Structure 1
Amino acid sequence: MDLVDDVAAENHHQLRRLVWSIQSSYGRLNLLVAICDNWKYRDEIIDTYEAELREKGTRCDRVRIDLRQPSLKQSLQTCVEQEPELATSPAAMVTILGVDELLGLRLNQERSALEQFLFSLQWTRESLRGFQLPLVLWLTPRIAAQLADQAPDFWSWRGGVFEFSQPIAWAFEPERVQSQSQEQAPSSPAADPADLQQQIDDLLAQDPDSPLLGSLYNDLGKALTDKVRYGEAEVAHITALHRREQQLGADHPDVAISLNNLALLYKSMGRYGEAEPLYERSLAIDEQVYGKDHLEVAADLNNLAALYDSMGRYEEAEPLYERSLAIDEQVYGKDHLEVAADLNNLAALYDSMGRYEEAEPLYERSLAIWEQQLGADHLSVATSLNNLATLYKAMGRYREAEPLYERSLAIREQQLGADHPYVAQSLNNLAGLYDSMGCYGEAEPLYLQALAIQAKTLPENHPYNKTGYNNFRSSVHAALEAGQADQLSDHPMTQEILRQLSGLE
């Protein structure tokens, strides 16, 4: 069994433990802490255990911690009030989400939402006694460490901890290009949320009904999103939306922009179900205001398609990507950068669907446009080269993939410097290709270089660090099984992995 299988087997083991723990604690309070560093995989796990439990008659509910009142007790109490059958069902459980979204610093408050949540948990034990059912609390590794440190009493009565790792293959997906309306485009340099909040406070004091407040809240939402302060960004975007609806009407183009921005935030947070109706409403407004062949409509179509793409609803995404491409080609012409982005996204969709022969000419055409318009050494060209190389790898055309990965790596090193995380990504991709070719001695120095870059540039608990190490360990394992361990170097990390693996044989 190689390491890819090891990771999958351990995740399966953790899932079976979690399901058993839920089933064995019906009718009594049991706190089960689940930890995952990838929200998309987390949602897949939740869907899996809820489907299994529902087949056996279990009532499964979800609770999301509210940024405005970040209290576990209050969130559960609200859920029970809305769904009173939850308290009386003989087999019921609740999944608790949203803690990872309480990332903000203080927004005119004594404590941030996350600080309030952790503080309240320390004194929550007895107050939760009324909820006689298993609770699955989902956290990231970073927040789990904070909880153990800042709420030790709460942490001490957990009924189990279940850790899930992102599947290794998820690190090698094609890169999409997000279509952006003018107001979505990130500002440069990045806006300072504190400065925007001060402008809002000053204007509220002078003219609380000013139409400028909608734009300021919108800008604040974007700035907070750029800082990965999603909980605060949500509040800002919702405020902007409500102000624009009240002042401009429900069908104004600025309302469509706010809807689109809020949907984009929810997509980034993995809250796909909430993003979908916002994207749909934004599209409907822009079609009504501009007509069905306008560039704003093309951007809306692309954004909704990207959401369906992320949800695995490929058949629904395809006609939207195709329609967006047709509009951009009609307005811009066939050699425009926006057309290149559309081609890339449609190709990536076909790639995900296994329709490789259809993806190839689209990737090639996208690459040609970017090279023509931006030059051969642009970062967008590097992304396009990487995607085409990944396609060739999936098709088993390794020798065609190799020079593309090498060129993508060279561009990123030239444009970003030798120690950038994107360079580490390219090194990992090229090393993964060599693994597929059975060239483990060539893969080893690339993995080691990538790991060194990530150690210098990424936080210690960043999921790419674990993924990169797992990929390298899998490569060393494959070399050992293939009788090629003698082709590996004397690097301490390599030799340590070999010792570990030899001890397991």
Structure 2
Amino acid sequence: MTRDDPFHFDHARHWAATMLRPEHVADFQRLVKTLRHGSRFQLLFAEFTEADYRDTLIRLLDFVFADLDQPVARIDLSSQSFADFAALEVELRQLAADHSAIHLTGVDGWFDEGRWRDFNTRREAIAFGVPVRLVIWLSAETMARAIVLAPDLWAWRGGVYAFTTLPASPREIPQPQIAPIDPRTLAERCRRIAVLRETLSSGSPLDDEILGLLWDELADLLASIGELDEALRIYREEQLPIYERLENVRGQAVTLGRIADVLHERGELDEALWIYREKQLPAYELLGDMRELAVTQGKIADVLLARGALDEALRICRENVLPAFERLGDMRERAMTLGRIADVLLARGELDEALRIYREEQLPVYEHLGDVREQAVTLGKIANVLQARGQVDEALRIRQKEELPIYERLGDVRARAVTQGKIADVLQYRGELDEALRIRREEQLPVYERLRLARDLLVCRAKIGLNYLARGATGDREIALEFLRLALQDAQRLQLPEAQQIAGIIQQHTDTDDPGALS
């Protein structure tokens, strides 16, 4: 996977901006876009006050451009010896041969009056001989001198970016923004992450109740854009201790549920199920919270469905969860529960009823509530049914034109990868095996590996194996078996129903005298 396509580039630049002070996000994004899409030669002036923060900005820019075919160089005038501007120009010309951008640092102590005037005089030669985006990092004082000493050079500037870090004045503590429906875009989520990070790292005295809610919002936002490791760390190390200190039973139960949600997403079903059953359910029973009790039972049903325990999952949804939400009048959770029931029906092959529920019971509710993420999830399930019926063209249209754009707008990297995999399924069905294989190996596999999504990873590996078997080129069988065996190991470890199916495929395509057939 590379960030060469628009989604990965946008995700990288917005994620990088979460590490900055909120007031610098806009200028950082302007600078990134200029470096990516600007004309070949540009003079870009970046004002800063702290060298450490400047270096952080440069590292983040390096991160954004790491996988693009646009290498970036840096010349530090404070540590490299250039006798005069002519010597610097030689170095710039050499670096321009194989770099698209150059950071020029150490400017404040190196550029005297004569060197600025030389730069001003040589501007046309630089423009033609150094066709790169030249980012000049300097203080406000040095910038003021450059304007006076090199006015023609300054007139050629392609952009000015402010990253000054004056002593922070007291800021208003942000109010927690936690709601079951979050339509914020990737850019909005990342900007909010930057605000929360600054507040939580400022050392400002905060009431534990507010602190817990802010950590909760930050972790939820991180999880929503695929940063599961950091979200899990916050739940365990920051948020849970606060609620334990406050003896807040509800807060502890909610946080433990968040931990279980991440574990569930990663395929760690035993631990997730234990938390739901042994930690959350008793807490909500003690509190008499019928709504959260039903929500947790629904999540238990999800785990059972993933394990293939269809009858028990269906019983819980129909007998416990659905009646609870109908009594509470919670239309969103009722729709989600009906969706779980439809998932079981789909797994059983009852396609017509599953499709009716998705289209008539779920989708209209999410459209009414403005819940775009659940709309996308439901559209994907509708596409699953259509694909199972052989209506692959309509399934592909839904995935490419309706489902995928929503996940990209929200920055949901996992859901996007899953959807890309479904698109690959259709392409493989059509015989477009090379493109299907490319998607699985470049768009899906790296995401699941980075997020450590065990179940998604094993399913992806199994499908890569099947893709190689279908292609049948020289050496494909051996590669296929390698992927299938990795998938089998994880399926057996996680006690998933896919294990038996994968083992059968391996056996079918392995020589009977191969001692390592199922190892």
TM-score, structure 1 length as denominator?
0.48
- Whichever of the two has the greater Rg, that structure is 2
